[in-house]
Structure 1
């Protein structure tokens, strides 16, 4: 089994205030029509991801790989997104245009990539996976991953975590 790629801490977010501390300089630009992450990664599906894709008219059996499972310790996290047998790419990647057919409804793991969010109490650490196949990481034309970038791209995700944290604290 291949080793996990290196992860670099990019930022820490206080979930109560949404204050962001930048920990290291990173630039990122997702190249159009690349699709390398759609081929090289196994994507975990949350229940919410499955429901959102089913709302598009797909049956779960069409896109959920029930043979690949994700765990954190002994906790079951979910199943994987199916890959095509002829090229190993995600079934939603258009083989000609290299564009996602469900882009606006893609799983959270796809939306976050190459960033990884790790929650520790009231703090969210944001890492970047330094996958060698991703040409967007530290791209010379890339945008600085700063507070503005994080809030624009992932502010709704962070607010969702904050709302859940506040709800859990109120119970």
Structure 2
């Protein structure tokens, strides 16, 4: 996976350093990531989607597994057999049927958040199929962008840092 640094956020002060040359815009009705990626689905994601009335057997691919070293992390979201898209992508509108309940990996894409002590570095995956990378109408990964799009994720990491310090 090729990636590049785009920002660092201090989890105590919320100060952000970012690369002003990089811009991003998720393009409506694109759905390319829903076809191209294998998406890990965490236990929390499964529970949230099941609360919508789906059975895990409908959307979890128990044959595809994600590991870090020898540690099991999660299973993958199922793909449709007729076009290899995520089972939740509407084939006509190219919109996610569970958008507000989608897995964390979907929400974060194309960004990767990596905690380094009291700071979190944010990288972007340089996937050639994503038309939103360096899009002319995109916006830089500033403090405002991070807190608007990923404020709850940053807050969760921040709580862990505070707890680790106590």
Question: Does TM, scored on the shorter chain, surpass 0.5?
Answer: yes
CA contact (8 A) 1:25 1:145 kept: no
CA contact (8 A) 2:26 2:132 kept: yes
- What SS does the corresponding residue of 2:93 show, helix, strand or coil? coil
1:7-18 correspondence to structure 2 within 5 Å: 7-18=3-14
Query: What whole-Å deviation, never above 9, does each CA across 1:40-82 have from its counterpart, x for those lacking one?
Result: 0010111111111011011111111111111111221111011
Aligned match of 2:42? 46
Aligned match of 1:153? 149
2:87 aligned residue (84, 91, 108)? 91
> What residue ranges of structure 1 are gaps of 5+ in the alignment?
none
- The question of 1:102 aligning with 2:94 is answered no
Deviation at 1:151, TM superposition (A): 1.2
2:18 aligned residue (18, 22, 25)? 22
Q: Under a length normalisation based on structure 2, what TM-score does the superposition of the two structures give? A: 0.95
- What SS does the corresponding residue of 2:48 show, helix, strand or coil? helix
CA contact (8 A) 1:114 1:129 kept: yes
Counterpart Cα distance in 1 of 2:83 and 2:21: 35
Aligned match of 1:78? 74
Query: What whole-Å deviation, never above 9, does each CA across 1:134-170 have from its counterpart, x for those lacking one?
Result: 0000011112221211111111110011112222433
1:129-144 correspondence to structure 2 within 5 Å: 129-144=125-140
Aligned match of 2:53? 57
Aligned length: 166
Regions of 4+ moved over 2 Å: 167-170
Deviation at 1:29, TM superposition (A): 0.9
- What SS does the corresponding residue of 2:156 show, helix, strand or coil? helix
